[in-house]
Chain A
Amino acid sequence: MKHGHILLTGLVILLIFTLASCQDDSTPTSPLPTATEAETDTAVEPEAEVQEDESITVVDALGREVTFASPPERIIIAGKATTMVVNAIYLFPEAQERLVSFESRSQRGFDFYPLIQADFDQLELLERNAGPEQIAPLKPDLVILKSYMADSLGATLEEIDIPLIYVDLETPEQFERDISILGAALGNPERAQEINAYYNGQMEMIAAKLENIAEADKPEVLLMQYSDEEGEIAFEVPSIDWIQTELVTLAGGTAVWNEAAEAGGWTVVGFEQIAVWNPEKIFVINYAEDPTAAVESLKQNPNWMALDAVQQDEIYGFPGDFWSWDQPDPRWILGLTWMTTKINSEIMADIDVQQEVIDFYTQMYGLESGAIETEIIPLIQSGLD
């Protein structure tokens, strides 16, 4: 009987679900989140026992005021492009105890985290497209999202009263603001000031060195991504409002691709266009593997050999360690420093990039120089020369 089959199947499925409830029992037993949002007018009086000076108010990237009775202890970073936010939050030592989980799409660069946090493997990571169903069991008292997730994931997390903070971290200006936001949320604004001081210090140092160079003398620079998918080689330039473009300008170069790039994403450009630009310096990014190989193959290419940059040996692979240094990741400051030494080598002659790297990891992530030398320096792709 057909109807018998349906009933049986339905019961079996429901049975499987019921039986499968003997799953892990690592559910945390921490109390419910107690944060409120000032703008929704549901002010919650902090518990009488909690000290007044422990309560924090944070104004996030979307201008929302979020108040916590005490600094959040179970933080989750969710949504897209979590890696860069994770790398930013690890600039704060508190993150090691308080970051409970984040959504991970790929494992690339994950060798970095054990250097900061020995028990990183214990973290229960979320899988791609984690939503409120998957986040709620981890009982977070703060979820950090990028601001463009406000209408989607943010809206649903708000439905179940999970406190949210939005950040951007896409440009140097946003970086400075959002580091302060993270510092406020972690109850350590002093550390935020330290971090911003380091970044500003670097940027001011570079700006000072570049101050006497006239606009017209700024070298023409092409910064492009080389991608090789199944034999299809493409060159793409970044969007004009992305950090990559801003880094070139900050490094004292003139970005040649301003007209070509649409405000969307990576724009494919053909070799002919590159030949027309004929830039003085070319930087080649490759997210898939060491850009050195790409640079070598371009140097052998008869078309490319006709370009000024190749003839002058001014074509470089963009360095990176666990992640390439061109992205909106805390390492952008390293990318900026390095690129400036290539664009204006005489002025930057006194800068030792390797030392800068060591300083960065020491001051920003609290690593020991010994560990840096053994674990990180060897990883740097395309070399620092």
Chain B
Amino acid sequence: MRQLDRRGYLFILLGVTLLAAFLASLFIGRYPRPFWMPLRLLGEDALARRLVLSLRLPRLCLSLLLGVTLAATGAVMQMIFRNPLVEPGFLGVSQGATFGAALSILWIGSAWSMHTLAIFFAMAGLFASYVLAQRMRFGGWVLRLVLAGIVVSALFSAGTGILKTMADPLTQLPEITFWLLGGLWSATWDDVLHVLPFVVPGLTLVFLLRWRLNLLALDDETAWSLGAAPARERSLLLFGGVAATASLTSVAGIVGWVGLIIPHLSRRLFGADSRYNLPGAMLLGGIFTILCDDVARSLMAGEIPLGILTSLLGAATFIALMITIKRKPGS
């Protein structure tokens, strides 16, 4: 059908763009001068070689994974919660991860503990929201989860606030603040290895269930009658997506808006069927985050926190999308 050809073409285009962005970004940075590094430098300059292989390459891998995961998890959450305004950090995940990282920055100080505590508390936030939602007595499942998520986020946020007052303003507080704004400037291959065990299974699960996700966006009775176990399947998807997100958050800090905007954009391009718009979101998310990170490390003589750039560009894109809403025929 015509529709399918158009989508197929779009996928190929996005895939090629992603590959091109990835390869080109290896040569974008501040060395030897702002933005572009000539190719031949790799052959001549040992520092350039090490910079590209030991710092830029893992950093690019992480921004790719980050963009893909945030977009995929955002798409999953928007379908599961049947609400186009939710994003991955929801349900206490972002705030939990922040709390864990702040704990580590304050009292332990090693990078390893920061990863572990961030993941632990992010998952704890998800778990707490889930359990709290189970215990609530009124409202539908989705409403209960949303309320529980708000409460758990608020609790963690308060906890982080307390930790911030206890932080050393010269050494620890700026680190917490930078982490809150997100950044990949300290990325190494170790970080990539740390996140892969969470990201690969999580993304695979989400990808395999990309068509099934449609069912989970319908009413419970309908999904049930089609053979789904809605609560269980939604939880499985949430778990996979959030685990991947939490592990990346522990490495990159809080990077917002990607998980909110990219699924919207993808839905515009590919339609409401998540079989197409989920992989589409993954590609778009990867491209978006790679480009943002290029700017983060190249534009100024200091790193710009990644979260600031994704918010700026994400919000701008959101406005553009909202303004150009298609007029429906006959309405």
- A42 nearest CB across to chain B (Å): 13
- B284 nearest CB across to chain A (Å): 8
Contacts of A159 in B (CB 8 A): 50, 54-55, 188
- A145 nearest CB across to chain B (Å): 12
> Which A residues are within 8 Å of any B CB, using their own CB?
2-3, 6-7, 10, 13-14, 17-18, 20-21, 23-25, 27, 32, 80-81, 103, 124-134, 136-137, 139, 146, 148, 151-153, 155-156, 159-161, 239, 262, 264-266
A-B contact pairs, 29 of them (CB 8 A): A6-B14, A7-B13, A13-B291, A17-B28, A20-B34, A23-B34, A23-B35, A24-B34, A27-B32, A32-B45, A125-B301, A127-B300, A129-B185, A129-B302, A131-B185, A131-B297, A132-B55, A132-B185, A133-B31, A133-B55, A133-B298, A133-B303, A134-B297, A134-B300, A146-B171, A151-B111, A152-B111, A152-B175, A161-B47
A213→B219 CA distance, assembly (Å) = 82
A133/B297 in contact, CB under 8 A:
yes
Q: Given A23-B35, A27-B33, A266-B169, A160–B55 Cβ distance below 8 Å?
A: yes
- B323 nearest CB across to chain A (Å): 14
Contacts of A265 in B (CB 8 A): 166-170, 172-173
Q: B287 at interface (Cβ–Cβ under 8 A)?
A: yes
Q: Given A131-B185, A264-B167, A10–B30 Cβ distance below 8 Å?
A: no
A6/B17 in contact, CB under 8 A:
yes
Contacts of A148 in B (CB 8 A): 109, 171
Contacts of B175 in A (CB 8 A): 80, 152
A137→B188 CA distance, assembly (Å) = 19
Contacts of B14 in A (CB 8 A): 6
- A31 nearest CB across to chain B (Å): 11
Contacts of B167 in A (CB 8 A): 264-265
From A101, which residue of chain B is reached at the shortest CB distance? B301
A148→B168 CA distance, assembly (Å) = 12
Contacts of B30 in A (CB 8 A): 133-134, 136-137
A13→B297 CA distance, assembly (Å) = 15
A152/B21 in contact, CB under 8 A:
no
Contacts of A124 in B (CB 8 A): 301
A17/B303 in contact, CB under 8 A:
no
